[in-house]
Structure 1
């Protein structure tokens, strides 16, 4: 059976972005290739998206058999991880599965009406979106597994910033300009 991109591609339901590097590529460590990337937080209640991801990972395993010497290794690394188990110290991961998606090419980014989003401030760690991702096999330096490629992002709604950042509009009250020069030193 031939595996196609259709078999390994998933468009998620509503997810939350974390560690979002969507508008500029980023390398986690010096010397690594810079990539566009994000962690994708998938609610454990979203059975439809999880089922699609599991099917796409299985299709990627089948498509990658040649990279694995003709058979799927028993200890193959897979991208979907449990936030409750692996990130118990990060409350935004509670009740979620997560995976990391990346790409060397910039993903397309649109809003709910499919208008392109050009302002990098509009898409951030903490906002809610849908993503188009694809799964593929890798065999690099003895590491074998299934990776997740980032295709496109559709922002659905705002959410609290992750990592402690806040909006200026939320930090300050508007002040009246009374026209006086408050020179308290003079």
Structure 2
């Protein structure tokens, strides 16, 4: 079964967490034979979810618009109602929710809080290029230069999935990450690196066409 996938696009500016996952692949789950995956966490201000600042297919759209398009492509217009009812797992995770906390202590991970949301990203195959972006050059970056707490943007996509135990959902693939500015380090490698991994598969290229973002407002409540 083919699953809907958006085109790749430039994300809004964000803060990077779990940066080590861009350099070292880890098992995507605790299941035997789980694939190794690269990935990271991108932290955004809450306004970035609905702000129409992304250039996508000749129009300015929001992150929520693109997710809505993937949902409609995969599950039809009724998919939007399923998403609002919580029956399709959202890629947008609250910065003060359970996923933003240390499992053992309950404390928020660095960079998290009620004023932000975050997206877990993954790359199933090759390591995503990680670069330092400037106006004059794009230079491959080292793990020391690109760390949890720095700022930049990702080349990302959203894709639909279904899992026998976890149901339906939308997740985020990452093609590359571009550092734009330094920031206060979030400490260590960003916490438990397996926190951002999910048992899902990116099923390939986007369909030739997807629906527009109509009805995206309040998509995930």
* Alignment deviations for residues 87-135 of structure 1 (CA, whole Å, 9 cap, x no partner): 3632511111111010112212222234232422211111111111101
Distance 1:58 1:44 in 2: 17
Listed as ranges, the matches of 1:14-29 within 5 Å are: 14-20=13-19, 21-27=21-27, 29=29
Q: Which residue number corresponds to residue 44 of structure 1?
A: 46
Distance 1:127 1:18 in 2: 8
Higher relative contact order (CA 8 A, sep 6+): 2
Q: TM-score, normalised by structure 1?
A: 0.72
1:5 Cα deviation (Å)?
A: 3.8
Provide the secondary structure at the position in 2 that maps to 1:111.
Answer: strand
For structure 1, the 5+ residue unaligned runs are 166-186
Distance 1:140 1:96, change over 3 A: same
Q: Which has the higher helix share?
A: 1
Q: Which residue number corresponds to residue 100 of structure 1?
A: 120
Provide the secondary structure at the position in 2 that maps to 1:24.
Answer: coil
Provide the secondary structure at the position in 2 that maps to 1:59.
Answer: helix
For structure 2, the 5+ residue unaligned runs are 55-60, 102-106, 190-221
Provide the secondary structure at the position in 1 that maps to 2:22.
Answer: strand
Q: Which residue number corresponds to residue 127 of structure 1?
A: 150
- Mean Cα deviation higher: 117-126 or 143-152: 117-126
Distance 1:49 1:77 in 2: 24
Distance 2:52 2:112 in 1: 19
Listed as ranges, the matches of 1:57-136 within 5 Å are: 57-65=67-75, 72=79, 74=82, 75-86=87-98, 87=100, 89-90=107-108, 91-94=110-113, 95-104=115-124, 105-113=126-134, 114-136=137-159
Distance 1:158 1:12 in 2: 18
Distance 2:17 2:153 in 1: 13
User: Contact 1:10/1:56 (CA < 8 Å) preserved in 2?
Assistant: no
Provide the secondary structure at the position in 2 that maps to 1:139.
Answer: strand
Tell me which structure has the larger Cα radius of gyration.
1
1:164 Cα deviation (Å)?
A: 4.8
Aligned residues: 158
Q: TM-score, normalised by structure 2?
A: 0.62
